[in-house]
A and B are shown apart, each in its own frame.
Chain A
Amino acid sequence: MSDDAHLRLLTLVVVGASFALYIGIAIWSRVRTTGDFYIAGKSVHPVANGMATAADWMSAASFISMAGLIAFLGYDGSVYLMGWTGGYVLLALLLAPYLRRFGKFTVPEFIGERYASNTASVVAVICLILVSFTYIAGQMRGVGIVFSRFLELDIGTGLVLGMGVVFLYAVLGGMRGITYTQVAQYCVLIFAYTVPAVFISIQVTGIALPQAGFGASLADGGGSLLARLDTIVQDLGFASYTEGSRSRLDLFFITAALMIGTAGLPHVLVRFFTVRKVSDARSSAVWALIFIAILYTTAPAVAALARYNLTETIQPGPVGHPEGNLVYEERPGWFRRWEDTGLLAFEDKNDDGRVQYYNDSSADFEQKAGEYGWQGNELHVDRDIIVLANPEIAQLPAWVIALVAAGGIAAALSTAAGLLLVISAAVSHDLIKRQLRPNLSERGELRAGRISAALAILLAGYLGFNPPGFVAQVVAFAFGLAAASLFPPIVMGVFSKRMNKAGAVSGMLSGLTFTLLYIVAFRGIGGISPIFEDTPDNWLFGISPEGIGVVGMLLNFVVAVGVCSFTARPSEEVEALIERVRAPGQGEVDA
């Protein structure tokens, strides 16, 4: 059997085994009550919930794309690291314990009861569905892509397989099924992420801990890795790796949007409804952040080590020397294999048979490149390759490569399932049970929950298969939308007794509308083309559409406080509810 066929078979076995595990868990944990279906019967151990939250949270984007993004952005990529972890501090301090104390099933239910308003609850459902669907289409796409790259199935087949597995454990097992499959998925994905990182760190710096390795000296005696990386990327016309190039104000706003958005994402919030008591909500936020931090502190190490490996492979000799670049015919095996997938592409623009990889959009560097006889960058590198090709670049055994495939699928499936469940809960509980059919029996509601989960999977699969041009872009905007719509009414619901229904509803609507319009104005959606050119000069205060959610959130707060100040105080019942949510205690408040 050839190496490639052997690798494919091994990958099939590993991915198949992980699927069998997930389905087994689904059958073992199938549910019969709505409490089990929505929030796993409030019986999840804080450590298990921490792991499940970590898997829920870390999507295909975290697993596959983030290290690649950082590898090419350098310091500027730190916004993802700080943004996607710092949000947990807000979550644990401002939201999670109080939502658990409130003790119902969903986020819109909290907003509906706190503001004693069906309108508020319906607006929250709309925000929730908008945020979750933009996010989920990207996940289903991720599943399809991992299948097609590692197993050479077409994206459609991969999607159907992924949908089938999620269908089984989300529809049968509800939140209980999802929780325990997410625990398994976390173990698969973290193992798959850290093993190659450790080996690469040892190869390059001789230090096993990647977090320390990327700040160490090179094993070949070439001095500090980061200093060497800074020099070589700047010699090739790129921005300094450790200092970056984006404006500090924009970095500030993007980081804040990602943090606050993280804290406002409904599929993350709902995980804190599933633990036994309020102190468990606090400690499981700690565990979640620890489990997430393991991947998020490894990612920048992977990024720096991989950028170094890549640059050294392409540019083994001095920059500008006629023999300084890699001879195309002598390229390593992984280079050939990834060329087949289109993630690496070479075009010999100056016909010298060597590969030149440099920043050809830098005007300053153009003259130098001309002196070297370079006629444009010759290598296209897809960012996703940084994680996906890592084990091959480090010459790790085939089973590690198979594991990375299973890890990528685990990351995408766990997030997709979590999102599907909050969508189905919003539909069956907040819309059907609480608005349309209050008399629905528990069995009826459970059936409605399963049917809406199934429909949501079909719709998500459709979106993954036919991504309407905007989906990929919009995934990043889900954070801005969550920050601008859901975060303020929950925080004010707990921390302000004065905030009322009129304030909360007008705040949510203005935050959501403003953010949505700003994004559409600069990026367009579907058939609508952008109204303004997407350049820093045109942006409001120089803030990019990725960071605008923070302004939307501030607008939400300002409008809410303004409207609230000339409308009636909330009723005494609501005030009593707030007192109970704030009061010490472990169980739920009585309605």
Chain B
Amino acid sequence: MTAKEYWQANLKLIAGCLIVWFVASFGCGLLLAPWLNQFMLGGFKLGFWFAQQGSILVFVLVLIYYARAMKRLDAEFLAAKDKL
């Protein structure tokens, strides 16, 4: 893996994470919230739940995923470099 491929893989990861981030907050928590409110999650209207709880949980999961994926990518890069 070259430094360029590493950067491309990183950009792809970032783009994916940003999409999830946007959909959870601006999507489910804001723009789609009035529609989602017709569904219930326990005692919560779903749109309201995303705005006050769900989006924050998704943020945490996105960051955990990104940190792990980058750790793997770093390891792959090191392994490829060692082979040379």
Which of B31, B55, B66, B77 makes the CB contact (< 8 A) with A248? B31
Known A-B contacts A81-B56, A93-B66, A224-B43; A583 and B6 likewise in contact (beta carbons under 8 Å): yes
Q: CA A584 – CA B3 in complex, angstroms? A: 7
Q: Is the CB of A82 within 8 A of B25?
A: yes
Which of A211, A225, A286, A296 makes the CB contact (< 8 A) with B64? A286
Interface of B is mostly: helix
Asked if A200 is at the interface of the complex by the 8 Å CB criterion, the answer is no
Contact flags (1/0) for B2-31 with A, using CB distance below 8 Å? 010011001000100110010001100111
Interface size on B, residues (CB 8 A): 42
Interface residues of A in 281-328 (CB under 8 A from B): 282-283, 285-286, 289-290, 293, 296-297, 300
Q: Is the CB of A279 within 8 A of B52?
A: no
Min CB distance A15 to B, Å, is: 30
Contact flags (1/0) for B33-65 with A, using CB distance below 8 Å? 110010001111100110111011101101110
Q: Is the CB of A82 within 8 A of B56?
A: yes
Min CB distance A217 to B, Å, is: 7
Min CB distance A254 to B, Å, is: 10
Q: Which of A84-92, A106-114, A471-479 is found at the contact surface with chain B? A: A84-92
Asked if A382 is at the interface of the complex by the 8 Å CB criterion, the answer is no
Q: Is the CB of A215 within 8 A of B67?
A: no
Contacts of B43 in A (CB 8 A): 215-217, 224-227
Asked if A390 is at the interface of the complex by the 8 Å CB criterion, the answer is no
Contacts of B70 in A (CB 8 A): 97, 279, 282
Q: CA A138 – CA B18 in complex, angstroms? A: 32
Known A-B contacts A255-B26, A297-B56; A283 and B51 likewise in contact (beta carbons under 8 Å): no
Which of A85, A89, A279 makes the CB contact (< 8 A) with B74? A279
Asked if A75 is at the interface of the complex by the 8 Å CB criterion, the answer is yes
Q: CA A90 – CA B14 in complex, angstroms? A: 9
Q: Is the CB of A279 within 8 A of B71?
A: yes
Q: CA A81 – CA B56 in complex, angstroms? A: 8
Q: CA A81 – CA B53 in complex, angstroms? A: 8
Q: Which of B34, B41, B60 has the most CB of A within 10 A?
A: B60
Known A-B contacts A215-B42, A289-B63, A584-B6; A86 and B55 likewise in contact (beta carbons under 8 Å): yes
Q: Is the CB of A286 within 8 A of B26?
A: no
Asked if A579 is at the interface of the complex by the 8 Å CB criterion, the answer is yes
Which of A251, A283, A285, A586 makes the CB contact (< 8 A) with B30? A251
Q: Is the CB of B74 within 8 A of A286?
A: no
Q: Is the CB of B60 within 8 A of A286?
A: yes
Contacts of A285 in B (CB 8 A): 63, 67
Interface residues of A in 200-249 (CB under 8 A from B): 211-212, 215-217, 224-227, 242-243, 248
Asked if A8 is at the interface of the complex by the 8 Å CB criterion, the answer is no
Min CB distance A272 to B, Å, is: 13
Q: Which of A81, A224, A227, A259 has the most CB of B within 10 A?
A: A81
Q: Is the CB of B45 within 8 A of A89?
A: no
Interface residues of A in 472-509 (CB under 8 A from B): none
Asked if A447 is at the interface of the complex by the 8 Å CB criterion, the answer is no
Asked if A78 is at the interface of the complex by the 8 Å CB criterion, the answer is yes
Which of A78, A88, A582, A584 makes the CB contact (< 8 A) with B59? A88
Asked if A28 is at the interface of the complex by the 8 Å CB criterion, the answer is no
Nearest residue, chain B, Cβ from A281: B67
Q: Is the CB of B71 within 8 A of A289?
A: no
Asked if A334 is at the interface of the complex by the 8 Å CB criterion, the answer is no
Asked if A399 is at the interface of the complex by the 8 Å CB criterion, the answer is no
Which of A86, A92, A242 makes the CB contact (< 8 A) with B37? A242
Q: CA A3 – CA B83 in complex, angstroms? A: 74
Contacts of A224 in B (CB 8 A): 43
Contacts of B52 in A (CB 8 A): 70, 75, 78, 81, 297, 300
Asked if A372 is at the interface of the complex by the 8 Å CB criterion, the answer is no
Asked if A168 is at the interface of the complex by the 8 Å CB criterion, the answer is no
Which of A217, A293, A586 makes the CB contact (< 8 A) with B57? A293
Nearest residue, chain B, Cβ from A299: B52
Q: Is the CB of A252 within 8 A of B71?
A: no
Nearest residue, chain B, Cβ from A242: B48
Asked if A394 is at the interface of the complex by the 8 Å CB criterion, the answer is no
Known A-B contacts A81-B52, A296-B56, A584-B6; A255 and B21 likewise in contact (beta carbons under 8 Å): no
Q: CA A579 – CA B2 in complex, angstroms? A: 12
Nearest residue, chain B, Cβ from A252: B30
Which of A251, A286, A300 makes the CB contact (< 8 A) with B63? A286
Q: Is the CB of B42 within 8 A of A293?
A: no
Min CB distance B79 to A, Å, is: 11
Q: Is the CB of A89 within 8 A of B67?
A: no
Chosen A-B contacts, 18 in total, with CB atoms closer than 8 Å, are A81-B51, A86-B25, A92-B67, A93-B66, A211-B53, A225-B43, A242-B48, A252-B31, A255-B30, A282-B70, A282-B71, A289-B59, A289-B63, A290-B60, A293-B59, A296-B56, A297-B53, A584-B77
Listed from nearest, the 6 A-B pairs whose CB atoms lie closest are A78-B51, A215-B43, A300-B52, A215-B44, A224-B43, A282-B67
Which positions in B face A, CB cutoff 8 Å? 3, 6-7, 10, 14, 17-18, 21, 25-26, 29-31, 33-34, 37, 41-45, 48-49, 51-53, 55-57, 59-60, 62-64, 66-67, 70-71, 73-74, 77-78
In the complex, besides A85-B55, A243-B34, A286-B64, 6 extra interface pairs with C-beta distance below 8 angstroms are A81-B52, A242-B37, A255-B30, A293-B59, A293-B60, A297-B53
